[in-house]
């Protein structure tokens, strides 16, 4: 005999007179809930669950507490289904039910609103992140469309003298995009990587009739906001980054050879194995930067701040260190053998160990090796 009849489905269950009727009434409600919430299941599972609910007074209370929330989930809470891979609050409540049975109905009355609250919080945060993602993507799309229009309508090369106004517009548009507070470091890195692939941010040295001639980059990144940008894949050879904010940027392995970084903020930046040979770093802030294995040969570091910087195995041969601040800098195995304008007083606060010092600097190159043990 089939005890599980579900007709009429939408009739309010009558008060049960015996256990079978009570089970059927709850099973009908479970079936309706599944239909409303579009959950998988079958009649046999509903019947089994109904029997379990009847066996426990706590489960009966929880069941009746959940019923008014079905409509709320459908109308307001269901959008939260994206939270935790489309998990809904009632599955979470069901998982909590053993603990609720152990500690009493009062726990259920507290737990259910809490679950709803935190689900709403998670949903709101997710919506905000998605909104930010859309905003960043739209800003990138608008910029690339504008740049494409300029390049397609170009008469000759962007570097030609007749296109000076277009160069100005392109530079201004780029700097405006990089100042967008909603644009994160990864997106900024993508912008610079794209520009470097188009050879728009690099300068070059060409052989003229009489002498070598240097050409300036088409887009000069003066004062660019590149804080925390990922520039590890960008080619910035002879780029013009005067006054740029590169603090905490990832420049690991980047090519910055011959770049102009006058007055740039590179504090806390990662320059691991970066090529800064011949770069101009006058008045640059490299405080706390990681320059492990970096090539600074021939670079101009006049009045630059290298305090607390890590220069392990860095090559500073031929670099100009006039009035460079080295307080607290780690010069473990650094090569300063042919560095220019360096005085012993600059090294008083630096950490030396296996450091190659220039002739005339009478300091113990292993003075601070115990600090590295």
Domains of the chain as residue ranges with CATH: 19-121 (no CATH), 134-373 (2.160.20.80)
Residues 323-343, mean pLDDT to the nearest whole number: 97
Residues 300-312, mean pLDDT to the nearest whole number: 98
Calculate the average pLDDT of the chain.
80
Q: How confident is the model at residue 167 (pLDDT cuts 50, 70, 90)?
A: confident
CB burial class (10 A; 0-12, 13-18, 19+) of residue 318?
A: middle
pLDDT at 217: 87
Angle at 310 between CA 308 and CA 312, to 5 degrees: 145
User: Which residues lie below 8 Å from residue 181, measured CB to CB, with a gap of 6+?
Assistant: none
HSE-CB at 218 with a 13 A cutoff on CA atoms is 21
pLDDT at 143: 87
- Classify residue 312 by its DSSP letter: T
| Residue pair 212/192 in contact by the 8 Å Cβ criterion | no
Residues 82-109, mean pLDDT to the nearest whole number: 52
Which of 32-41, 80-89, 314-323, 348-357 is least confident? 80-89
Check whether 59 has a pLDDT greater than 70: no
Q: DSSP characters for 63-93?
A: HHHHHHHHHHIIIIIGGGGGTTTT--HHHHH
CA–CA separation, 299 and 304 (whole Å): 11
At residue 48, the 3 state secondary structure works out as helix
Instruction: Check the CA dihedral 79-80-85-86 and report its sign.
Output: negative
- Whose CA is closest to 330, among 301, 294, 290? 290
pLDDT over 90 percentage in the chain: 45
Length of the chain: 373
Q: Report pTM.
A: 0.66
pLDDT at 16: 42
User: Would strands 330-332 and 351-353 be described as parallel, antiparallel, or unpaired?
Assistant: parallel
| Residue pair 314/291 in contact by the 8 Å Cβ criterion | yes
Residues 256-279, mean pLDDT to the nearest whole number: 97
Cα torsion through 27, 30, 31, 37, rounded to 10: 180
User: Which residues lie below 8 Å from residue 21, measured CB to CB, with a gap of 6+?
Assistant: 14
pLDDT at 338: 96
Report the 10 Å Cβ neighbour count for 165. 8
| Residue pair 296/316 in contact by the 8 Å Cβ criterion | yes
């Amino acid at each position: 005999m089939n005890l599980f009849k579900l007709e009429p489905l939408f009739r309010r269950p009558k008060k049960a007179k015996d256990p079978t009727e009570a089970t059927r009434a709850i099973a009908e409600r479970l079936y309706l809930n599944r239909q409303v919430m579009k959950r998988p299941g079958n009649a046999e599972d509903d019947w089994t669950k109904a029997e379990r609910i009847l066996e426990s007074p706590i489960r009966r209370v929880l069941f009746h507490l959940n019923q008014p929330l079905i409509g709320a989930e459908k109308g307001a809470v269901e959008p939260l289904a994206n939270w935790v891979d489309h998990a809904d609050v009632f599955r979470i409540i069901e998982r909590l039910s053993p603990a609720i049975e152990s500690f009493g109905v009062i726990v259920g009355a507290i737990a259910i609103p809490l679950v709803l609250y935190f689900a709403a919080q998670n949903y709101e945060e997710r919506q905000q992140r998605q909104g930010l993602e859309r905003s960043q993507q739209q800003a990138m799309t608008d910029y690339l469309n504008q740049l494409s229009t300029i390049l397609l309508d170009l008469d000759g090369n962007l570097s030609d003298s007749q296109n000076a106004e277009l160069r100005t517009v392109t530079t201004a548009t780029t700097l405006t995009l990089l100042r967008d507070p909603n644009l994160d470091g990864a997106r900024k890195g993508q912008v610079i990587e794209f520009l470097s692939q188009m050879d728009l941010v690099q300068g070059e040295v060409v052989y003229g009739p009489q002498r070598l001639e240097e050409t300036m980059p088409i887009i000069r990144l003066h004062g660019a906001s590149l804080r925390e940008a990922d520039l590890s894949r960008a080619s910035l050879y002879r780029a013009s980054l005067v006054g740029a904010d590169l603090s905490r940027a990832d420049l690991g392995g980047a090519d910055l050879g011959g770049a102009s970084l006058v007055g740039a903020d590179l504090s806390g930046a990662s320059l691991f194995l970066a090529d800064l040979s011949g770069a101009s770093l006058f008045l640059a802030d490299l405080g706390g930067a990681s320059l492990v294995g970096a090539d600074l040969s021939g670079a101009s570091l006049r009045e630059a701040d290298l305090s607390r910087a890590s220069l392990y195995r860095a090559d500073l041969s031929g670099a100009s260190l006039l009035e460079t601040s080295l307080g607290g800098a780690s010069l473990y195995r650094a090569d300063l053998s042919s560095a220019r304008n360096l005085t012993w007083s600059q090294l008083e606060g630096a950490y030396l160990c296996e450091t190659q010092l220039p002739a005339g600097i009478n300091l113990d190159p292993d003075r601070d090796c115990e600090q590295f043990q």
